[in-house]
Every structure is written in C-alpha cells, then in structure tokens.
Amino acid sequence: MAGALVALLLTLLAPTALAAPPDARNIAWLDRITFGADSATLAQYRKLGREGFLQAQLHPGDPALPPAVTTQLASLDAERLTLNDIATQLREQRAKLRALDKGDPQRRALAKAWRKRGHALADQAAQAELLRAIASPAQLREQMTVFWLNHFSVFQRKRQVGWFVADYTNRVIRPHALGSFRDLVMATLTSPAMLQYLDNANNARGHYNENYARELMELHTLGVHAGYTQQDVQALMHILSGLTLDLRPRERARRFGARGPQRINALVAFYPRRHDASPQVFLGHTFAGDDMSEIRRAVDLIVAQPACARFISTELARYFVADTPSPALIDRMSRTFQRTHGDIAAVLHTLFTAPELDAQLGRKFKDPMQFVISAVRLSADGREVVNAEPLVKALRTLGEPLYGRLTPDGWPLQATSWNSSGQMSDRFRLARALGSGRMPLFDPGAKRAPVGTAPPDIAASMLYRESLAPRLRDATRQALAQARNRVEWNTLLLASPDFNFR
C-alpha cells in the first residue's frame, strides 16, 4: 500500500496545482513566517493581525518556553556547559593524552571516548534546537537560527567541533539571528566551531591557511561572482592570521613572550606574534596592523559591499519565497540591507510584506527540517514535546541532519534536492510514525511510545479545520476519504503534497 500511495503523492507534487483559496492566504503566510501554524500561532495572529504579528516575530524579546521543555533543556549537558567548562575539559583531556605514549592503548581509548563525547554533545545540541523550533513562540527567530546555522555551516565530526556546536547555536547564532548581519559575521568569525571547522585556527604567519578567508567571502558574505580576486582572498588570509583556537594558553603565552594574546573568549584569542602585520591590499583598501581592529575593519568593508547585500538577500528570498526569487524583490531587499547597514529584521520586513511572497504562498517545497517540525507542530499541537531524539534520527534519514553537512556550503535550498521518490518514501514512513502515535515525543529518553498510545486525532482538531482543511485540493480530499482508520488518515495528510508545500 505504501508504494502505491507514494506513487500517487509524487504525481500530485506539481506546485502550480497548490493555489490556496483567498480566505486561506493568511494561514499560508503564517506557514512561511513560522515552522507551521499551531493553535497558539493562530490565536496570536487573530489578536495582532498580519503587520502586528510580523512585528512581534521580528522583535520577539525573550518569550518563555513551555515548562516541560525548559526542564528538558536544563537536563542536557550541551545546554548546561559554558564555554569555560568546555575549555577546561578539553585542556584536561589534552594534558592526559600528552602524558601517554602514542602507542599506548589507553591513549587510543581516551581519544575515542573524547570523540564520542563530542558527538553526544552535538546530538544534544540538535535535540535542543528542535525542541525550541517546535515550542518557541519566537518562531521566526528559530527559523532564522536554523537558516544561519546552515548558511554559516559547521560539521560536528571535524576534530572537536562537536563540543562547540551548542555554544555556536546558543551564543553565536541565535542572539544575532534577527540583528545586525555584521555582528553575526563577527560572532561566527570568533567562534571556536568556525575557527576549527574552516581551519583559521591553523592560519599563522609563515604557516598560512586560506580556507576560511575564501569561504568567508564566497559562501558567507559576497558570493562566488562578486568580482573579488585570488589576491583579495590571500590578503584576507593574512589579515585573519593569528586569530586562533587556543587550547594551550600557558604554553603559547610562554612561547610568544610579552606580546601576549588578545583574548576573545575562553577558547579564542588573537596572537599578535602569530599575525602577519605586513601591509595588505584588500578590496582596494590598504590594511596594516597587528590587532583585532584590522579584522573588524575587514568585516566592515565586506559587509558594506553591494554584492554582500545582494547575496544575502538572494539567499533569504530563496529560503522563504521561491527557488528562483524575483529580481525585483532581491533589489528591494538589497536596498533595505544597504540602507540599514545589514539590519536582518528590516530586510525580512521587506520580504514578508512583498507581493512576490504572497504570489508564491503554497508553492515552496519544504526541506526536511521544515517538514519534520511542521508535522510535529500539527500533530502535537499544544502538547509539550520533550523528546527530540527520534526527530534527530528522522533528519538523518531524510538527509538533512543539523551540524551534519560535510562541506561548508550548507544544505541546498532548492526543491530539486529534496523531492525525489526516495525522499517521499522516507517522508511517508515518518508521517506514518507520527500519525500512529508510535514516536515517543512526550517522554524524555524513551525509545518507543507506551503500549496502547492512541494516534493523534488531527481530523477533529480545530487547528486542522482552520489551517489545512480550507486549502486541501480535491485529490487530497478524495484520498483522505478512502482512509480506513485514523492512522491511515493522519499518514495521508502529513505525506500529502498539500502538507509538503508551504
């Protein structure tokens, strides 16, 4: 049965057939600004209206999470450990390893345990982000957190990066997700996760590494067609030299003498003696200096480029509006970016009030992250999801795990990367697990739902009647009418084209 249903679903995937009736357009708009509407979202929208809701999402403050979610987050080591704690533990581990001979089996066992611990912390960080994405009233901020985690992508399995991804999410990305793009770039640039992942930790005078300098311009800010040269990449590499991940502060302080480090945080420092202070010409400007001010000036120059405004606006429009966004929309977003000096919230206001967005409502195929979170928000609607372990595994199956992209380009944003028959089969299986109630989302650490757990009654919910029912196409209604039980009905709805587009 599953194979036939997947085949049916694939024939219905053409987005041009998904036009929503006019009275459902505000609901479809909510599905873009959030990870999918739930009852609380609809209530807030009815109270505030479109512009009021948008302003509340662009400037969310610090809304409380549900108590059970807060408690679960507090139980995760990845959430509790500060950067100082991580620095202490990594330095202790490093000292233990250095005290053992290279051929000592104990050394290998200790190194393996160290890596395993890092992977476990990264998995917890992924669980924490999923719990927030499902439950937080600040839905746009969580969407932007996921967007920037992908844009400034790091891979958890490279060296110690897994130890740092919770800090990267909570201290680097989320606080800047709706703020200044320049501040966001500086936060990523001085983060342990990025310094290690893209090798600037190894970029020192006489031992240069251009990896981060290249990706900072090509993937993070300007784009590959911005007109900069290889000479600019190398100049930026020299400017960035000396900014490093500092796991041996005492040893390095002795080695580099009186000109000690300019400490950024517990694990990151700028060492003037490791920095190449020779004059550099970068994007037509001369740089000469031996402190962090040179790096800040370079970032200011990059972010001020018209190419940066256009590149970031294009990526945002591709994520929220369409795979091939309108040039006119990108032009308006770029002007907002430049006028506000990279105010992310202002650029998003231009996007979410654009007629081009309204014209695309119901036509943007969900990536796996959007699909998983929206399916849980609909099927759980108001119940406090506290066990995200099954969802972390589901994202691996669907091919888009958090912190799991090996290359620094991030997961693709276009539908063609996610709408294959294999992907739809995997989504169908996940829809069935959620629709049957078998996924143990409400019991921390549980591997399976309790025996006798009833499937959610999505069809009877006010959320379904208000948000999805008015938008269903005849083909979907006919398929749902043939469902033999609640599990089958839930599965067909969650796997339907109507639900897979937003």
Read out DSSP for 47-60?
HHHHHHHHHHHHS-
Q: Predicted confidence band at 250 (pLDDT cuts at 50, 70, 90)?
A: low
Q: Predicted confidence band at 330 (pLDDT cuts at 50, 70, 90)?
A: very high
CA geometry: angle 353, 359, 364, nearest 5 deg? 100
Q: Predicted confidence band at 16 (pLDDT cuts at 50, 70, 90)?
A: very low
User: What average pLDDT does the chain have?
Assistant: 92
- DSSP letter string over 280-315? EEETTEEE--SSHHHHHHHHHHHHTSHHHHHHHHHH
- SS3 label, residue 441: coil
Interatomic CA distance for residues 264 and 246, integer angstroms? 10
Mean pLDDT of 434-452: 91
Residues in a beta bridge with 180: 343
Task: Report the percentage of the chain scoring pLDDT > 90.
Answer: 83
Residue for token pair 């269903």: 472
How large is the angle between the packed helices 344-352 and 25-33, nearest 10 degrees?
160
Residue 454: left if φ>0, alpha if ψ -120 to 50, beta else—which one? Answer: beta
Is it the case that residue 262 has pLDDT exceeding 70?
A: yes
SS (H, E, C) 146-202: HHHHHHCCCCCCCCCHHHHHHHHHHHHHHHHCCCEHHHHHHHHHCCHHHHHHCCHHH
Identify which has the larger pLDDT, 252 or 99: 99
- SS3 label, residue 82: coil
SS (H, E, C) 363-415: CCECCHHHHHHHHHHHHHCCCCCCCCHHHHHHHHHHCCCCCCCCCCCCCCCCH
Q: Predicted confidence band at 2 (pLDDT cuts at 50, 70, 90)?
A: low
Output the pLDDT for position 267: 94
Contact 495, 434 (CB under 8 A): no
Contact 199, 212 (CB under 8 A): yes
For the chain, the distance separating the N- and C-terminal CA atoms, rounded to the nearest angstrom, is: 26
Mean pLDDT of 339-367: 97
- Asked whether the CA dihedral 20, 23, 27, 33 is positive or negative, the reply is positive
Q: What's the chain's length in residues? A: 502
Interatomic CA distance for residues 234 and 462, integer angstroms? 58
Instruction: Identify the burial level of 335 via C-beta atoms within 10 angstroms of its C-beta, where 0-12 means exposed, 13-18 middle and 19 or more buried.
Output: middle
Provide the whole-model pTM. 0.93
Interatomic CA distance for residues 79 and 275, integer angstroms? 34
Give the Å distances, CA to CA, from 395 to 10, 117, 336, 376, 487.
Answer: 20, 21, 34, 13, 22
Q: 154-213: per-residue pLDDT in tens?
A: 999 999 999 999 999 999 999 999 999 999 999 999 999 999 999 999 999 999 999 999
